Amino acid sequence: MKVGVVGLGAMGAGIAQLCLEAGLETVGREVTAELGDKARGRIEHFLTRKVEKGQLEHEARDAAVARLTTTTELGDLAGCDLVIEAIVEQIGPKRELFAELDRICPPEAVLATNTSALSVTEIAAATGGPERVVGMHFFNPAPLMPLVEIVRTERSSDEAFEAAYALGEKLGKHPIRCHDTPGFVVNRVLIPLMNDCVRVLDEARVTPEDLDAGMKHGAGWPMGPCELLDLVGIDVHVHAAEALWQALREPRMAPPPRLVAMQRAGMLGRKTGGGFYQYSD
Ligand code: CAA
């Protein structure tokens, strides 16, 4: 089986890493060769760490890396059985990409989007074959988080839906099946919850450190909400919250002003070196 991944940012590179580790030939597409090289470096780094920690054999790491092809040409995805899109979270570029993939990929290939809060149905409607379009929503960091939501639209075929589910299993994930509704399952719950956490920062005049300690030690979270927002990216969260607010009009879905201000200031979390916390690496 050959898999394509379009967009090799944090999520796309993580998804590609999973495919490579599962023994699948993987074609990763980025808009420039430099971005493709950066993603390759990221994947090599995490696989090397696994070798250093005794979680992966050296030969297996080299074989996984050798299964990766990076390209800037969408046409190179023509031979893939399933393509996963992980580009920018904007409906316009996603619809354009799916229309293009629909022309390039043979009719039996499955087209999956990793969107976290946009409508899979709206993305699928840009193609001439919406039956083959599904959602495969991974969680950040994709190589570590066990869940993948397999999302079907009204028009997804059973074959495409089950092929995506089977790939989720092959990647060692715990797939769950759901329908295309705003935020699917986890984000429908997690986004308003994270928004509430940020509102509590101001209401209770608690520091990010103490809020994180509260949720880790009082609610058993593996990571505090401020740490998690810095990991996911403030911009990614704000986009997703806005999309849910647009779709559902529930006030708790709207991103809190504090997060919007951070986004505008470019304090996006780990990727910019600072969000709620400062990062040196
Ligand atoms: N890709 C690949 N490997 C990675 C990685 C990445 N992005 N990030 C870390 N790793 C590897 C590193 O090699 C690291 O080891 P070193 O530091 O030694 O190099 C290793 O993973 C860390 O593994 P650990 O087992 O030590 O990590 P941990 O026990 O601290 O757990 C965690 C980390 C899984 C992230 C845990 O803190 C956790 O579960 N946090 C909650 C994350 C969460 O809720 N994610 C969902 C976000 S919401 C979302 O994604 C939805 C959306 O649509 C926006």
Euclidean distance between CA atoms 66 and 64, whole angstroms:
5
For ligand 1, say whether the CB of 225 is within 6 Å of any of its atoms.
no
Interval 83-107: pLDDT, tens: 999 999 999 999 999 999 999 999 9
Check: pTM over 0.85? Answer yes or no.
yes
DSSP state of 268: -
**CA angle (187 as vertex; 186, 193 as ends), nearest 5:** 100
Distance 206 CA to ligand 1 centre (A): 25
- Residue % of the chain over a pLDDT of 90: 99
Ligand 1 atom 39 nearest Cα: 222
Is the predicted pLDDT of residue 281 greater than 90, yes or no?
A: no
Interval 263-277: pLDDT, tens: 999 999 999 999 999
Cα separation values, 108 from 154, 162, 196, 274, 276, Å: 19, 13, 43, 44, 45
The per-residue pLDDT for 108 is 95
Beta bridge partners of 29: 6, 71
Is the predicted pLDDT of residue 67 greater than 80, yes or no?
A: yes
Burial class (CB in 10 A: 0-12, 13-18, 19+), 166: middle
**CA angle (101 as vertex; 188, 153 as ends), nearest 5:** 35
Active site residue 149: yes
Active site residue 187: yes
Burial class (CB in 10 A: 0-12, 13-18, 19+), 26: buried
Of 84, 44, 81, 80, the residue nearest 64 (C-alpha): 44
- Residue % of the chain over a pLDDT of 70: 100
Please tell me whether residue 183 adopts helix, strand or coil conformation.
Answer: coil
Is the predicted pLDDT of residue 239 greater than 90, yes or no?
A: yes
The per-residue pLDDT for 72 is 98
Distance 141 CA to ligand 1 centre (A): 5
For ligand 1, say whether the CB of 49 is within 6 Å of any of its atoms.
yes
The per-residue pLDDT for 84 is 98
For ligand 1, say whether the CB of 222 is within 6 Å of any of its atoms.
yes
- The dihedral through the CA atoms of 102, 105, 108, 109 has a sign that is negative
What kind and span of H or E run contains 102? helix 91-104
Catalytic, out of 21, 30, 89, 149: 149
Is the predicted pLDDT of residue 139 greater than 80, yes or no?
A: yes
The whole-number average pLDDT for the span 23-52 is 98
Euclidean distance between CA atoms 208 and 226, whole angstroms:
6
Interval 192-238: pLDDT, tens: 999 999 999 999 999 999 999 999 999 999 999 999 999 999 999 99
Active site residue 157: no
Euclidean distance between CA atoms 170 and 164, whole angstroms:
10
For ligand 1, say whether the CB of 232 is within 6 Å of any of its atoms.
yes
Mean pLDDT in the chain? 97
Ligand 1 atom 33 nearest Cα: 144
Q: Which atom of ligand 1 is nearest to the CA of 10?
A: 7
Helices (H), 53-90: 58-66
Distance 126 CA to ligand 1 centre (A): 34
Which tokens go with 144? Answer: 């570590």
Catalytic, out of 85, 187, 195, 237: 187
Ligand 1 atom 12 nearest Cα: 46
For ligand 1, say whether the CB of 163 is within 6 Å of any of its atoms.
no
